[in-house]
Amino acid sequence: MPAALIRRLLGRVPDPIDDDTWRHVQLRVRWIAALDDARAQRLRGLATLFLQRKTITPIEPLRLDAIRRATLAALCSLPLLEFGEEGLHGWSQLIVYPDAFRVNRTHVDAAGVLHEWDDELIGEAWDSGPLILSWADVESDLDDPHAGFCVAVHEMAHKLDSLDGLLDGTPPLPRDWQRAWARDFQQAFDAFVADVDAGRDVLIDPYAAEAPEEFFAVCSEYHFSDPATLRNAFPAVAAHLQRFYGPVP
Ligand SMILES: [Zn+2]
């Protein structure tokens, strides 16, 4: 019987994050360094599951050592501290580009004309497919943790959002909460779109006006990296995210 199978049958799957690796993760990620002990332990458990269940594939010439892999797993698990490991369901691959990457887009317009163009992305979450990140942008998020950006959290928010089969800015929640969430997010989104369309100054990244699901994902980034601005701009949304993700680290 293979050793890995025996260990699994005995319930002793080796921990892919040793103490030394975890210390490096805590040193590198300020949002993780700031967690209390109980939440830090929970995060380490989630990151361990992440590494056991997801295949992390770096694209040449990027190399990912154990510390970088654990850092990615911990970052992607940060939005799951309250939601739990169900947030990892439905997909199996994390693909990591060295830098921003190009994707080819096509669209057939109302007149039946095919439009084709290239988009440059720093992250993407395919419906039940891979989660894709740019390592350079993950690093710049970590270098400047209060700037309002965290691409890993953004893409994980899309993954949580689509768990109920609909990418619409509302993750699966208990019914009453889901109703209040949908109402408060819609109100904030409508007001935000009106401000952006009118060219007024806005407090958060205008990309959030693209769609309700982008609004949720962008606000999720602010929850971790600039919560004061989020509370200022959209107090009701900030309160929902505080309940959904837990207290700001
Ligand atoms: Zn997005």
Q: Rounded to the nearest 5°, which phi and psi values hold at 40?
A: -65, -40
Residue 1, pLDDT score = 58
Residue 242, pLDDT score = 98
Neighbour-count burial for 98-111, b at 16+ CB within 10 Å, e otherwise: eeebeeeeeeeeee
Give 157 Cα–ligand 1 centroid separation in angstroms. 8
Kindly tell me the burial class for residue 156, based on how many C-beta atoms sit within 10 Å of its own C-beta (0-12, 13-18, 19 or more).
buried
Give 7 Cα–ligand 1 centroid separation in angstroms. 39
Give 222 Cα–ligand 1 centroid separation in angstroms. 13
Give 215 Cα–ligand 1 centroid separation in angstroms. 8
Give 121 Cα–ligand 1 centroid separation in angstroms. 10
Is 80 exceeded by the pLDDT of residue 43? yes
Residue 216, pLDDT score = 98
- What are the domain boundaries of the chain? 168-249
* β strands within 33-153, DSSP E: 55-58, 93-97, 101-108, 114-121, 123-125, 131-134
Is 90 exceeded by the pLDDT of residue 249? no
Give 154 Cα–ligand 1 centroid separation in angstroms. 6
Rounded to an integer, what is the distance from CA 27 to the centroid of its chain?
20
Give 124 Cα–ligand 1 centroid separation in angstroms. 7
Q: Given CATH 3.40.390.10, say whether it is the number of domain 168-249.
A: yes
Write out pLDDT tens, residues 76-121.
999 999 999 999 999 999 999 999 998 888 889 988 999 998 888 8
Neighbour-count burial for 21-45, b at 16+ CB within 10 Å, e otherwise: bbebbbebbbbbeebeeebbebbbe
CA dihedral 130, 135, 138, 139 (to 10 degrees): 170
Residue 8, pLDDT score = 60
Write out pLDDT tens, residues 191-220.
999 999 999 999 999 999 999 999 999 999
CB 16 within 8 A of CB 53: no
Give 176 Cα–ligand 1 centroid separation in angstroms. 26
Residue 127, pLDDT score = 79
Residue 239, pLDDT score = 98
Query: Which candidate, 68, 49, 67, 50, places its Cα nearest to that of 58?
Result: 68
Residue 163 DSSP symbol: G
What does pTM read for this prediction? 0.91
